[in-house]
Amino acid sequence: MRKKIIAGNWKMNNDLNESQSLVSGIISGLGSDDKCEVIVCPPFTSLNEVHSLVKDSPVKLGAQNMFFEESGAYTGEISASMLKSVGCEYVILGHSERRTIFGESDEWINKKIKKAIESGLKVIFCVGETLAQREEGETDAVVKNQIINGLQNVTSENLKTITIAYEPIWAIGTGKTASPAQAQEVHAFIRNLIEEIYSKESAENLIIQYGGSVKPDNAASLLSQPDIDGALVGGACLKPASFLSIIASA
Ligand code: 13P
């Protein structure tokens, strides 16, 4: 039985005060059962203070990105060990906004994934197709490529610390959610692919989150699909009430 993971990707939202108030609202509204893992991913500038608030709660801390080098002349970048030093347990890598706006390649994402794992961070590895790719019938091929390239030289042992987030780009921030059946189809494809590359056991244990306009009113139907093990939430994680409602659905 895979544990559900609900992660909130705050993106470039919330200054320090807003971050503290959002996470406090989430913590105070959480139930006590641990049927699902809850992760918040604030911007870098809030990680340390959000960590002080979550450390005695069930909420885990994640970052939205990192660089693959350990240290040095990389202006504006943040390393895996820096993230660890402020209490991060997770890092989101390969988000479509990093790929499209900041030009991150599969090769870079692979380097980041390997560095994160080596540093003891768990990875939320994002994949997903554009609308044009879906309309051309290329969804499976695109997702397969992203996964094969992103997981180069990642062992089955390492895979245990990775969750894959399927985020169709056309559903991110658009209010257009993949239907539960559309999302399930790609999740099942990903699980089969992992079985081909690794093993049945790796595939069965892999947590695959869905992301793209997940909201309180569609979360339950998405999360009830057999291969959807959680959600990576953007817009709806910015208010405690809507994030808590999605957690309750899980
Ligand atoms: P939205 O929930 O705002 O569509 O964002 C999804 C996302 O990109 C999470 O990483």
pLDDT in tens, 13-70: 999 999 999 999 999 999 776 679 999 999 999 999 999 999 999 999 999 999 999 9
For residue 73, how far is its CA from the centre of ligand 1 (angstroms)? 31
Pairing of strands 208-211, 162-166: parallel
Which are the contacts of 175, defined by CB distance < 8 A and separation ≥ 6?
Answer: 213
pLDDT in tens, 72-119: 999 999 999 999 999 999 999 999 999 999 999 999 999 999 999 999
For residue 183, how far is its CA from the centre of ligand 1 (angstroms)? 14
For residue 125, how far is its CA from the centre of ligand 1 (angstroms)? 14
- Among all chains, which residue has been given the structure tokens 């895996």? 80
pLDDT of the residue at 33: 66
Contact at 8 Å (CB) between 84 and 125? no
Atom 2 of ligand 1, residue of closest alpha carbon: 234
Q: Is 213 in the pocket of ligand 1 (CB under 6 A)?
A: yes
Which are the contacts of 68, defined by CB distance < 8 A and separation ≥ 6?
Answer: 80, 108, 111, 112, 114, 115
CATH number of the domain at 157, please. Answer: 3.20.20.70
Q: Is 240 in the pocket of ligand 1 (CB under 6 A)?
A: no
Catalytic residue among 37, 51, 89, 95: 95
For residue 209, how far is its CA from the centre of ligand 1 (angstroms)? 12
Q: Which two tokens stand for residue 106?
A: 């599969």
Contact at 8 Å (CB) between 128 and 100? no
Mean pLDDT over the full length of the chain:
96
- Residues forming beta bridges with residue 209, ordered by sequence position: 165
The CA distance from 7 to 118, in Å, is 22
The CA distance from 150 to 157, in Å, is 16
pLDDT of the residue at 35: 79
Contact at 8 Å (CB) between 168 and 213? no
State the closest ligand 1 atom to the C-alpha of 172, by its place in the atom list counted from 1: 4
pLDDT of the residue at 177: 86
Residue 123 structural domain:
5-249
Q: Is 209 in the pocket of ligand 1 (CB under 6 A)?
A: no
Give the pLDDT mean for 143-170: 98
Catalytic residue list contains 95: yes
Number of domains comprising the chain? 1
Give the pLDDT mean for 164-169: 98
Q: What is the 3-state secondary structure (H, E, C) of the chain?
A: CCCEEEEEECCCCCCHHHHHHHHHHHHHHCCCCCCEEEEEECCHHHHHHHHHHHCCCCCEEEECCCECCCCCCCCCCCEHHHHHHCCCCEEEECCHHHHHHCCCCHHHHHHHHHHHHHCCCEEEEEECCCHHHHHCCCHHHHHHHHHHHHCCCCCHHHHCCEEEEECCHHHCCCCCCCCHHHHHHHHHHHHHHHHHHCCHHHHHHCCEEEECCCCHHHHHHHHCCCCCCEEEECHHHCCHHHHHHHHHHC
